[in-house]
Amino acid sequence: MNLSKKWLADYVSLNVTDKEFADGMTLSGSKVEGFEAEGSELKNIVVGRIESLERHPDSDHLWVCQVNVGEEENIQIVTGAQNLTVGDYVPVAKHKSVVHGGQKIEKGKLRGVLSNGMLCSVAELGLTVNDFPYAIEDGIFILGEDCDKTPGKDIHEAIGLDDVVTEFEITSNRSDCMCVTGLAREAAATFGSELVIKDPEVKTVGDDVNNYLSVRIENPEKCYRYCGAVVKNVKIEPSPRWLRERLRASGVRPINNIVDITNYVMLEYGQPMHAFDLRYLGGNQVIVRNAKNGEKITTLDGVERQLNENMLVIADANAPVAVAGIMGGEFSGIMDDTTTIVFESACFNGVGVRRTSKALGLRSESSIRYEKELSPEGCLHNIKRALELINILGAGEVVDGIVDCYENKAKKSTVKFDPDWINNFIGINLSADEQKKILEKIEFTVDGDTVTAPYFRNDIEHKADVAEEIARFYGFHNIENRPLSGVANAKLTDYQQFMKKMDFACRASGLDEISTFSFISPKGYDKILLPENSELRKSVVISNPLGEDTSVMRTTPMISMLEVLAKNFKNRNESAALYELATQYVSNGTEELPDENLKICIGMYSNEYDFFVIKGIVEEILGAAGIDDYDIVAETENCSMHPGRTAKLSKNGATFALFGEVHPQVSKNFGISQRVYFAELDMKKLFDMSDKNRQYKPLPKFPAMVRDLAFVCKKSIPVLFLEKAIAKAIGPTLEEITLFDVYTGEQIAQGMKSVAFNIKLRSADRTLTDEEADSSVKKAIEELKKLGVELRS
Amino acid sequence: MKNQLEKIGKDAAEMINSVTSKAELDQARVRFLGKKGELTAVLKMMGKLSAEERPIMGQMANEIRNHIEKTIADAEIKIKEAEMKIKLEKETIDVTMPGKPHKIGHQHPLSIVLDEVKDIFLGMGFDIASGPEVEWDYYNFEALNMAPDHPARDTQDTFYITEKMLLRTQTSPVQIRVMEKQKPPIRIISPGRVYRSDAVDATHSPLFHQIEGLVVDKNITMGDLKGTLEMFAKKLYGDETKIRLRPHHFPFTEPSCEIDVSCFRCGGKGCPMCKGEGFIEILGGGMVHPKVLETCGIDPEEYSGFAFGLGLERLVMFKFNIDDMRLLYENDVRFLEQF
């Protein structure tokens, strides 16, 4: 909402600077986004009178003018404009001036003739021909009778480009502040000034409105009130300068006197208005009704709109002429030959306007006001104001009487007045009288223990709402700060602690943390080669996504991770080792919220990485979680992963982690021409499995015996299988078994491999003898022999 | 014999003082103290001495032996020190050469600041609560005093799953879930991801992070809200920090306010970071609307509360002087490894 300082001054007289005004209004609740003097970029432009015009000696289109700019001597300016005559008054951008757009003007020669500046068009002043309807677009702005024609006069003052515009952000609960008088009321209360709003006085010419117009409201739920008035013998012409100026300052384009009046009243009192040409109101009737399914209307913007029975329209005897509260129909508006008009000042239900506006994808200055719920109480006053302006502008003859359909009177909003509760709630100590005084400043009435809000306030429903009014005029900054009292007894939960630990473990493993979007493109599932019938394709789908790229909630964090790796690869980063604590969203249909599972997701690429690097990281993370007893098996079925280089971890048959090399085709699909490694661990499952009650084991008192053993076995036998067999054979004296070599090649038969272990034996209560160690080793050798694994000789 | 002993003492002292290596010292030890050494040779002649002379000479011989031994021991220490010095000199390296990498991963800037904020609030007695990101309309809007068709819904462009299910636009639904389950006193913050239908640009993202806080107890006033947030601002930006409240409107708080903190770059004088204002807007908040308390089964006549919220991305961008939000989600390692 842009507020004109000149306009505001009609209702309240303030003695503050623009900055003080902005700060004061912000602190009392009307947030100022900024303020600017109109035409502030224009510098050193003055009124000039063309004293003579001569052809440029070397040009067939340039003119050499002598211009009186109020100085002792005329100045010479060369112009290419063709619309000048001697005696015209024009804006002159003198030597060292600035015109609209920041362009600097200096003296110079045009085809050898000195020019001491430039004559300006309306555009060069930052204006349009709507602001000065007698001006032309492609020529110099020749000042009309509504301008000050004193040569040398600063252009801002001369043409009335000297207002200050303050931009407000009006919150959705304060529809009453979306107009000049609403902000004037706030300003008066903020700065302790008096608000002066006069009742409009209308002069009529007799006749009777009922001779011209009948109004019927068919849906009083959606149309609370409809006021109609008629003006005849209308003369359509531009509005006077003062009115155009105010519209311009408010950001509204002046059109003609009648349309300008409707906009003026809307800006002044927040009342959207419409003016119909009576010729196009069939049967001279206004019927406020629901649209019929299939009915159509072409709105003023030239678009044909399909209506339905949930939408409210203004219709004549035949068809809709306006979408109620949103926009008029193509033929409803004012034309140059309009002679009799009907003013509409009505009040429509906010939700209805909002829904219709959304359904049609059509918003207007009118609809954004109505949808915040206006009060019907102002309708009559405001239509009178429009008629008063007809009188002031001499724009036509006002017919006697106003049609006013208003059956269900608006109820006044009353709330209990509870000064003690308010003091306690806000943390202040104001007497009931002091509170009452604040409320009366903004036109609330206090009667005993009841507060009644003024009709234009639709946001007062609870005593907390009254407390806010008190607080904002008392000043939020005046409320005493009080640190919270009571015991601070917060603590991270066990699970939160655990997540923190996992987070640290990831970084300690050398991984950088990333943060990715939770939504992905469903095409991501194709890229990771998920089969058509995969459960993972059943995403939570966003019904109104910004784009396909962000249209479904991910069921796996893998896609986001691969996208980030791909971006790094594309940016020529040689390596990346990344992790994310990422949520995946598993749909449970539309009746239940999805499961949101947190995953530790790891992705990496580099020439130096292989399967065992990521396995090592996974093992370290599990170590940090205190998880050491789990099963590991090769995973050959996961379509996104390399079938020969992927493993999954499980405990009691439930899988909790997967890691390995990403399927080369998947990496290629993401544009990464390098091996990529990926791991995914389920946070909740890790937490459930983690050792939460870790106990100390005494340090060994007796020395360990160490033996190295090498076996020859079929290549296909997993190392883990051998380790388990050895452990089983040796029993509790086995402290640790470490693989230190796997060898295939010369001296080893085809299809076989040599596997070498370092075996550490220890007893907790004595030193083992060599014989005991040898005997343990022998048991292991014999056990493996039974399984067809021979000791390597 | 006395002369002989004195000579041995003198010779030994001379020789030992002039040795420069362990080997030479060993030679000296053998020469004077060895089984076939000079001192032994003299001692072997002790038998020939008279009974009166024997103890005197014996004592003298012992003194000389002790002296020689001590001199050798001292010399040995000196030699070792000298040898160590040489060894260390030989081992000298160029300490300005680069270190061998042992990589520790980097925390994402969003997490760095989130951790900082969490720590501050934990210290002030706020537990950390979380809730679903895919939420019911009820928790995200209705229970927060935003009925269907409430105009304030327009200011939060919402991603819907179904008519009733959506991506939460704020972390406030967590507050409702906590209030439904827990009786006052309540003191929580709820950090998390939120979603709004804003196209990506330097300052907008359809996904961002919020941290909201809620306090409900007896006798909670707006003064508590101010005191708490001022304390938070001081902990985050330093003891000189001031806050400024401006009235605003949120449907779930009444009164509502936007909260600015004095610019931590310029201290409030005005600079490019605060666009000359001296203050930066980082928080919104207010007194929990009594209707919201009531909806959650908390009696607003007995209890009152305040709530606040802040955007994490904004804090992060201010803290690290990041001018484009997209960097946070692109995750280029050259960006990540700066933190």
CB A69 within 8 A of CB A75: yes
Residue B42 confidence (pLDDT) = 79
CA distance linking residue A437 with residue A427, whole number of Å = 19
CATH number of B109-336: 3.30.930.10
Work out the pLDDT band at A208, boundaries 50, 70, 90.
very high
Of 3.40.50.2300, 3.40.640.10, 3.30.930.10, 1.10.1740.10, the CATH number of A494-689 is: 3.30.930.10
CA distance linking residue B305 with residue B286, whole number of Å = 9
Work out the pLDDT band at B11, boundaries 50, 70, 90.
confident
Q: Which residues in chain B touch residue A543, judged by CB atoms under 8 angstroms apart?
A: 159-162
CB A185 within 8 A of CB A443: yes
Residue B102 confidence (pLDDT) = 86
End-to-end Cα distance, chain B: 82
Sheet (strand A450-452) strand order: A414-416, A450-452, A445-447
CA distance linking residue B290 with residue B300, whole number of Å = 5
Pairing mode, if any, of strands A341-348 and A641-651? unpaired
**What is the three-class DSSP state of B277?**
coil
CB B154 within 8 A of CB A536: no
End-to-end Cα distance, chain A: 92
Residue A747 confidence (pLDDT) = 86
Work out the pLDDT band at B264, boundaries 50, 70, 90.
confident
Architecture of domain A705-791: 2-Layer Sandwich (3.30)
CA distance linking residue A47 with residue A35, whole number of Å = 26
**CA-to-CA separations, B57 to A456, B3, B5, B36, B176, in angstroms, rounded:** 126, 11, 9, 19, 103
The DSSP-derived string for A33-59 is: EEEEETTTT-EEEEEEEEEEEEE-TT-
CB B264 within 8 A of CB B241: yes
Q: Is B239 part of the contact surface with chain A (CB cutoff 8 Å)? A: no
Pairing mode, if any, of strands A223-232 and A341-348? antiparallel
- Average per-residue pLDDT in chain A? 94
Q: Above 80 in pLDDT, residue B152?
A: no
Q: A92: which 2 tokens?
A: 């002159």
Burial class (CB in 10 A: 0-12, 13-18, 19+), B62: exposed
- H/E segment holding residue A447: strand A445-447
Q: Of A25-39, B46-60, B296-310, which gets the smallest average pLDDT?
A: B46-60
Among the residues of chain B, which ranges form H helices? Answer: 2-18, 22-33, 38-44, 53-91, 109-123, 137-140, 172-181, 222-237, 290-295, 312-320, 326-330, 333-336
Q: Above 90 in pLDDT, residue A561?
A: yes
- Taking only residues 5 to 44 of chain B, the set having a beta carbon closer than 8 angstroms to any beta carbon of chain A reads none
Q: Which residues in chain B touch residue A596, judged by CB atoms under 8 angstroms apart?
A: 132-134
CA distance linking residue A197 with residue B59, whole number of Å = 127
CB A759 within 8 A of CB A677: no
Q: Which of B161, B187, B206 sits opposite A490 (nearest CB)?
A: B187
Q: A640: which 2 tokens?
A: 């996104």
Q: Which of A468, A492, A596 sits opposite B254 (nearest CB)?
A: A468
pLDDT (tens digit, 9 = 90+) per residue, A705-751? 999 999 999 998 999 999 999 999 999 999 999 999 999 988 888 99
CB A683 within 8 A of CB A600: yes
The CA angle B34-B40-B44, to the nearest 5 degrees, is 150
Contact B249 A174 (CB under 8 A): yes
Q: Which residues in chain A touch residue B224, judged by CB atoms under 8 angstroms apart?
A: 427, 482-484
Hey, how many other C-beta atoms are within 10 angstroms of the C-beta on B302? 10
Instruction: Work out the average pLDDT over A311-324.
Output: 95
Selected residue with higher pLDDT from A792 and B195: B195
pLDDT (tens digit, 9 = 90+) per residue, A373-416? 999 999 999 999 999 999 999 999 999 999 999 988 888 899 99
pLDDT (tens digit, 9 = 90+) per residue, A325-379? 999 998 878 888 999 999 999 999 999 999 999 999 999 999 999 998 999 999 9
Contact A578 B333 (CB under 8 A): yes
> How many contacts (CB atoms, under 8 Å) link A and B?
231
Q: Which residues in chain B touch residue A553, judged by CB atoms under 8 angstroms apart?
A: 134, 167
Contact B331 A507 (CB under 8 A): no
Residues forming CATH 3.30.930.10 domain(s) in chain A: 494-689
Give me the percent of chain A exceeding a pLDDT of 90: 91
Residue with tokens 């531009």: A238
Residues forming CATH 3.30.70.380 domain(s) in chain A: 705-791
Q: Which of A350, A510, A546 sits opposite B105 (nearest CB)?
A: A510
Closest approach of chain A CAs to the CA of B161, in angstroms? 5
- Closest CA relative to residue A295, chosen from A283, A280, A311: A311
- Closest CA relative to residue A174, chosen from A266, A270, A245: A270
Q: Which residues in chain A touch residue B128, judged by CB atoms under 8 angstroms apart?
A: 490, 492-493, 496
What does the domain layout of chain B look like in residue ranges?
2-91, 109-336
Alpha-carbon dihedral sign for residues A441, A446, A450, A453? negative
Work out the pLDDT band at A578, boundaries 50, 70, 90.
very high
Q: Which of B159, B219, B328 sits opposite A542 (nearest CB)?
A: B159
Contact A544 B127 (CB under 8 A): no
Q: Which residues in chain B touch residue A354, judged by CB atoms under 8 angstroms apart?
A: 149, 151
Q: Which residues in chain B touch residue A568, judged by CB atoms under 8 angstroms apart?
A: 331-333
Q: Which residues in chain B touch residue A571, judged by CB atoms under 8 angstroms apart?
A: 332, 334
pLDDT (tens digit, 9 = 90+) per residue, A211-262? 999 999 999 999 999 999 999 999 999 999 999 999 999 999 999 999 999 9
Contact A543 B160 (CB under 8 A): yes
Closest approach of chain A CAs to the CA of B265, in angstroms? 22
Q: Give the chain B residue whose CA is nearest to the CA of A563.
A: B330
- Taking only residues 89 to 118 of chain B, the set having a beta carbon closer than 8 angstroms to any beta carbon of chain A reads 103-108, 110-111
In A552-653, which ranges are E strands? 552-553, 576-586, 595-605, 631-634, 641-651
Q: Which of A471, A510, A515 sits opposite B108 (nearest CB)?
A: A515
CA distance linking residue B26 with residue B47, whole number of Å = 29
Contact A490 B122 (CB under 8 A): yes
Selected residue with higher pLDDT from A643 and B153: A643
Q: Which residues contact B181 (CB under 8 A, 6 or more apart)?
A: none
CA distance linking residue A180 with residue A163, whole number of Å = 14
Q: Which residues contact A504 (CB under 8 A, 6 or more apart)?
A: A624
Q: Above 90 in pLDDT, residue A485?
A: no
Contact B219 A424 (CB under 8 A): yes
- Taking only residues 278 to 317 of chain B, the set having a beta carbon closer than 8 angstroms to any beta carbon of chain A reads 287, 289-291, 304
Backbone angles phi and psi of B98, in degrees to 5: -65, 150
The CATH class of the A414-478 domain is: alpha beta
Compute, in degrees rounded to 10, the torsion defined by CA atoms A554, A560, A563, A568: 170
Architecture of domain A2-38+164-191: 2-Layer Sandwich (3.30)
Q: Of A175-189, A285-299, A472-486, B293-307, which gets the smallest average pLDDT?
A: A472-486
- H/E segment holding residue A781: helix A770-786
Q: Is B336 part of the contact surface with chain A (CB cutoff 8 Å)? A: yes
Q: Which residues in chain A touch residue B132, judged by CB atoms under 8 angstroms apart?
A: 593-594, 596
**CA-to-CA separations, B194 to A302, A379, A580, B170, B295, in angstroms, rounded:** 39, 42, 17, 5, 23
Q: Is B234 part of the contact surface with chain A (CB cutoff 8 Å)? A: no
Q: Which of B105, B121, B290 sits opposite A464 (nearest CB)?
A: B290
Pairing mode, if any, of strands B127-128 and A734-743? unpaired
The DSSP-derived string for A662-728 is: EPHHHHHHTT--S-EEEEEEEHHHHHHHS-SS----PPP-S--EEEEEEEEEETTS-HHHHHHHHHH
Hey, how many other C-beta atoms are within 10 angstroms of the C-beta on A608? 9
Q: Give the chain B residue whose CA is nearest to the CA of A461.
A: B291
CA distance linking residue A321 with residue A280, whole number of Å = 8
Among the residues of A239-394, which ranges form H helices? Answer: 241-249, 257-269, 350-360, 365-370, 379-393
pLDDT (tens digit, 9 = 90+) per residue, B270-287? 888 888 888 899 999 999
Q: Which residues contact A499 (CB under 8 A, 6 or more apart)?
A: A581, A598, A683, A687
What's the distance, CA A194 to chain centroid? 38
Peptide bond preceding B185 in cis form (omega within 30 of 0): yes
Q: A199: which 2 tokens?
A: 């009742």
Q: Give the chain A residue whose CA is nearest to the CA of B106.
A: A512
Residue B19 confidence (pLDDT) = 84
Compute, in degrees rounded to 10, the torsion defined by CA atoms B154, B160, B166, B170: -30
Q: Which residues contact A669 (CB under 8 A, 6 or more apart)?
A: A526, A527, A528, A529
Of 3.40.50.720, 2.40.50.140, 3.40.50.300, 3.40.50.1820, the CATH number of A43-159 is: 2.40.50.140
**What is the three-class DSSP state of B288?**
strand
Pairing mode, if any, of strands A285-290 and A214-217? parallel
Q: Which residues contact A81 (CB under 8 A, 6 or more apart)?
A: A63, A119, A121, A139, A140
CA distance linking residue A176 with residue A234, whole number of Å = 31
Output helix, strand, coil percentages for chain A, rounded to the nearest 5. Answer: 30, 30, 40
Residue B148 confidence (pLDDT) = 83
pLDDT (tens digit, 9 = 90+) per residue, A33-75? 999 999 999 999 999 999 999 999 998 899 999 999 999 999 9
CATH superfamily of A209-405: Phenylalanyl-trna Synthetase, Chain B, domain 3 (3.50.40.10)
CB A462 within 8 A of CB B291: yes
Q: Which of B125, B151, B246 sits opposite A27 (nearest CB)?
A: B246
Residue B22 confidence (pLDDT) = 85
Q: Which of A28, A467, A567 sits opposite B332 (nearest CB)?
A: A567
- Closest CA relative to residue B273, chosen from B286, B260, B289, B255: B260
Q: Above 90 in pLDDT, residue B13?
A: no
Residue B275 confidence (pLDDT) = 83
Q: Is B178 part of the contact surface with chain A (CB cutoff 8 Å)? A: no
Q: Which residues in chain B touch residue A540, judged by CB atoms under 8 angstroms apart?
A: 134, 161
CA distance linking residue B265 with residue B271, whole number of Å = 8
Count the residues in chain B: 339
CA distance linking residue B274 with residue B265, whole number of Å = 8
Q: Which of A354, A543, A583 sits opposite B161 (nearest CB)?
A: A543
Work out the pLDDT band at A513, boundaries 50, 70, 90.
very high
Alpha-carbon dihedral sign for residues A78, A80, A81, A82? positive
Task: Write down the pTM of the prediction.
Answer: 0.85
Q: Which residues in chain A touch residue B290, judged by CB atoms under 8 angstroms apart?
A: 462-464
- Closest CA relative to residue A406, chosen from A347, A458, A453: A347
- In this structure, what DSSP letter does residue A764 have? S
pLDDT (tens digit, 9 = 90+) per residue, A265-302? 999 999 999 999 999 999 999 999 999 999 999 999 99
- In this structure, what DSSP letter does residue A543 have? S
pLDDT (tens digit, 9 = 90+) per residue, A751-782? 999 999 999 999 988 999 999 999 999 999 99
What's the distance, CA A466 to chain centroid? 30
pLDDT (tens digit, 9 = 90+) per residue, A663-690? 999 999 999 999 999 999 999 999 999 9
Pairing mode, if any, of strands A576-586 and A512-513? parallel
